[in-house]
């Protein structure tokens, strides 16, 4: 539990630094609004019924908004809950996929993930050019997102085996949570953390492809023979 508390503390510290000190390192998705000429503001009107004022905490920024302290926490918490839900929903598939993860197979999974991403980009371009099948593009990338989530769950479960040497006889879900917190801490580091997160996500996608989302029979070209 001490390790989990330390990882959560590091995540909180990095989220605060990203939203304050390191905020200029994050790309702005929209152009900042231009400032108009100064005009005296009219007296504030009472808020309509059903609307509330947006609160802001000193040193943490507003509650809503992109790249705020609360935005980082909500994204990280949502990612953790979704990945843990995959482990709870498909424990047998996750266990079969974990048995195929090793130091020799990880480079192959990374290569498979890169090939899958390139194939997805090519299909997206072709479908957009054809225009008729444009509605399939969100479905295609939705499947890719599901593959990434399942692969991250498997990698967390596999990494949890190594972390159990530090945690002691901890439950598998607790060890997987510790591994996910390590990934969250790494992802909150600007630039370098984004590269690590991208490599892990692509590897997770390749893992899902090669293991067929934890199916009993993995990917093999021998099945083309008859």
Euclidean distance between CA atoms 200 and 79, whole angstroms: 14
Among 155, 135, 144, 76, CA closest to 113: 144
Cα–Cα separations (whole angstroms), residue 101 to 37, 68, 214? 61, 36, 11
d(CA 202, CA 206): 6
In this prediction, residue 53 has a pLDDT band, given cuts at 50, 70 and 90, of very low
pLDDT at 5 over 80: yes
pLDDT at residue 46, as a whole number: 56
Residues 6+ apart with CB under 8 A from 90: 150, 213, 214
Q: What is the pLDDT of residue 215?
A: 85
Looking at per-residue pLDDT, the higher value among 64 and 143 belongs to 143
Residue range 175-188: average pLDDT? 92
pTM of the full structure:
0.80
- What are 198-219's pLDDT values in tens digits? 999 999 999 999 998 888 876 6
Pick the more confident residue, 147 or 37: 147
Cα diameter, the chain: 81
At residue 56, what are phi and psi to the nearest 5 degrees? -135, 135
Mean pLDDT score across all residues of the chain: 82
Q: What is the pLDDT of residues 98-142, one digit of tens each?
A: 998 988 899 999 999 999 999 999 888 888 777 667 778 888 899
* Residues contacting 98, CB < 8 A, separation 6+: 154, 157, 158, 161
Closest CA relative to residue 93, chosen from 200, 219, 211, 221: 211
pLDDT at 163: 80
CA 178 to chain centre: 15
CA dihedral 91, 93, 99, 104 (to 10 degrees): -130
């Amino acid at each position: 539990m001490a390790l989990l508390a330390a990882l959560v503390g590091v995540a909180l510290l990095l989220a605060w630094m990203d939203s304050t000190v390191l905020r200029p390192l994050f790309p702005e998705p929209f152009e900042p609004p231009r400032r108009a000429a100064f005009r005296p503001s009219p007296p504030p009107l009472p808020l309509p019924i059903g609307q509330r004022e947006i609160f802001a905490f000193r040193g943490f920024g507003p509650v809503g908004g992109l790249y705020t302290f609360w935005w980082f926490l909500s994204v990280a918490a949502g990612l953790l809950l979704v990945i843990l839900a995959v482990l709870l929903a498909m424990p047998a598939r996750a266990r079969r996929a974990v048995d195929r993860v090793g130091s020799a197979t990880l480079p192959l999974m990374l290569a498979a993930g890169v090939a899958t991403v390139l194939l997805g980009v090519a299909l997206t371009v072709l479908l957009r050019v054809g225009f008729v099948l444009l509605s399939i593009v969100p479905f295609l990338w939705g499947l890719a997102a599901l593959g990434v989530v399942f692969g991250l769950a498997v990698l967390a479960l596999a990494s949890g085996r190594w972390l159990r040497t530090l945690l002691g006889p901890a439950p598998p879900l607790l060890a997987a949570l510790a591994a996910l917190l390590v990934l969250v801490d790494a992802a909150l580091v600007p630039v370098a953390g984004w590269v690590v997160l991208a490599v892990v996500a692509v590897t997770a996608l390749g893992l899902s492809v090669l293991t067929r989302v934890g199916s009993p029979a993995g990917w093999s070209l021998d099945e083309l023979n008859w």
